[in-house]
Structure 1
Amino acid sequence: MTSLHQVAPNILVALDRRVPLVPNIGIISGTKAILVVDVGLGRENGKRVYQAALRIANGRRIYLTTTHFHPEHSFGASAFPRASLIMNAAQLDELQAKGPAYLELFRKIGPAAQSALVDTVPAETAVVYRHRHIIDLGGTVVELREVPAHTRGDQVIFVPESRVLFTGDLAETRFFPVLVDKDSNGSRWIDVLGQLIALRPAVIVPGHGEVTDRQLLDDVREMLIWMRAEVDRAVEKCLPTETMVAEIVAAARRRYPGWDNGQYLSYDVLSFRNDALAKNGESGSGPGSDNRK
């Protein structure tokens, strides 16, 4: 686990440094307990995070929560004691439905991921909530909110006192959003970002990329609104799918230079295309109907 940086009183973050398959990991402290946010890829990474949490907790209770089920965020959770994991119900459902397939998928990414996922199994969840959950760590109150968009089970973690918001992959600094499969929805994502903006957070800890301010939420939302409009225009013109994808992907790269995750732009276009076709009473087909990572 990399060195920890203080982003607000009682809140530390281990930064991902834009390393692939590494999330930002947070530790929120109160007088009675600490809450770890996201845990890394695989059991060995989870052990490193847990050891760091033990040092910081210094005898206080340790809780863990994960922003969504994707392996680099949640598959180290089994290194934590059984009684510590808090998860929203939709995320748990998605983990149970898709976890084994994603475990195999990520093992095929490369030797480093394969090694990290040796002996990895999903963790057992101690507390399951629906929609919203409050944790009092002792003088520090944390709010968990279920806000599906990038996945079926996204949740955000908000600390009202310091107005720090952990967004998971709903907002990543200079990364294109990823509409990964049929449970991702760009229009819902736009609405969710509007809800998060309404919280008026001061500090944003993204799933990946640098810690920043709430302008990130506006930037990601604007990008998704722009892409939806471009796709809607292309669908109205009856552009062939291949032409639509090529033109909008190229335009996105010009409009947002320096943003990473460009390899997923075609999936984003196809997802919005399928949504537009569904609104017109047509069915989507091809890779955009299931844009699994």
Structure 2
Amino acid sequence: MPELPEVETILRQLERLIKGRKIKEVQVAVPRILYHLSPADFKKRLRGAVFTSFSRRGKFLLCHMNEGELVMLIHFRMTGSLLYGTPSAISKAHTRISFWLDNDKLLCYNDMRKLGKIELIKGELVDNFHELKSLGPDPLSPDFSPQLLYNILQGSRRQVKELLLDQHKIAGLGNIYASEVLFDCGIHPQKKAHSLSPEEVGGLHRSILKILHLAIESRGCSIANYVDLAGESGAFQELRNVYQREGEPCYRCGELICRIKQQQRSTYLCPRCQQ
């Protein structure tokens, strides 16, 4: 699933390549991608719309159109992606929705498993949209301070890794980056969130920002099928310390990386470095 760094990478590419472009035509191959919209209504509302800006809330991408009057909300889920280019250059094996632009290029929403969702929202209603309203703070927002993180952790008796994955508590972190963050700051994933000291929370806060910025600089992580707007893979998978490295030696201490299960998900850690 595209996590915060992957969505941020796509957002920055859209700002550079798509901003100011007008939608000439829309083709919907898989209607179930649309959330509470018929293909006919979706096409009607988007023909002639102009991309004016882009933003992100956690793992959600917001495409603002017509000076903010209309917002197209994209949740990529497990295998969603956006591709941009000439019609002949874009792989259409899993294209579900196509946007023909006024420069004769295509912006395609591809999704192998067809689990992603696209919603159209009036601009003034975005802040009250149910899926966005329930999100926790974004780690890259100015409001995400060590004190805010401490307050979130102190209010929970859950294991810290489980809390980091809860989008209602902190928006944008997924399994890959939560594992890498906890290794970076030396915290065991099963440690109770409320038991972390102020010093540990400060280290966790620094590691969240460090790992996310490093992943954005690397254009995301392509362990599975993530590609950017140009169809190119990210590079963060080359920088992993623990994720999917079970049985391999820790780069810090040489202890073998192990895997445990938390909420039916695999967590990777170094049993020596993370206490």
Report the TM-score range of the alignment, normalised by the length of the smaller protein: under 0.3
Q: Rg bigger for which structure?
A: 2
TM-score normalised over the length of structure 1: 0.23
Q: Structure with the greater relative contact order (CA < 8 A, sep ≥ 6): 1 or 2?
A: 2
The structure whose residues are more often helix, as a share, is: 1
TM-score normalised over the length of structure 2: 0.24
